[in-house]
Amino acid sequence: MEMVCIVCPNGCRLNVTEQDGRVSVSGNKCKRGETFAVAELTNPTRSVTTSVKTTVAGYPVVSVKTDGEIPKSKIFDLMELCGKIIVTKPLPIGSVVAEDLFGTGVNLITTTDMEETNE
C-alpha cells in the first residue's frame, strides 16, 4: 500500500507491504519514514498545535502544542480538553498547561512567551 510520510516537508512516498506481521517499507529517504509507516499501520499518532484561552491582557488565547505525539484518535478529545483550560497568569514559553495527556506521558505546553513585552 502507498502512504505519504508526514514527518518532514520532504513528504516521501512510501511503499508499504505487510507479510506475516512484518512490515517492509521502501521509498523513504530516512529511517523516520519506516517508523512512521509502522506506526500508521498499528497506532497512528500526531502532534497537535492549537490554542487555549487566557485572562491575561493582550492574550485572548495563547498558542500550545503537544510536546510529543498522541494517538490520532485522541485529537478531538484533546480539543475538548483545551476548551476547558484557562490560563490566568503570564507564562513563559514552554510552560506545561496539561500533563500526561491520556496516559501517554505527553504534555501540552505553551509556544508563545507571554512575558514578552506587550508595550
Q: Which residues bind other proteins (CB under 8 A)?
A: 4-6, 8-11, 13, 46-51, 53, 58, 60-61, 63, 65, 72, 75-76, 79, 93, 111-113, 116-119
> Kind and range of the H or E element at 35?
helix 31-42
Contact call for residues 32 and 12 (beta carbons, < 8 A): no
Q: Which three cell numbers stand for residue 65?
A: 502544542
Cβ nearer to other proteins, comparing 22 with 91: 91
We find the least distance from the C-beta atom of residue 21 to other proteins, in angstroms, to be: 25
Contact call for residues 28 and 38 (beta carbons, < 8 A): no
Cβ nearer to other proteins, comparing 19 with 48: 48
Which residues partner with 71 through β-bridges? 45
We find the least distance from the C-beta atom of residue 87 to other proteins, in angstroms, to be: 12
Question: What is the Cα 14 distance to its own chain's centre?
Answer: 21
Cβ nearer to other proteins, comparing 19 with 117: 117
**Whole-angstrom distance, CA of residue 93 vs CA of residue 100:** 18
Cβ nearer to other proteins, comparing 34 with 65: 65
Question: Whose grid coordinates read 485529537?
Answer: 75
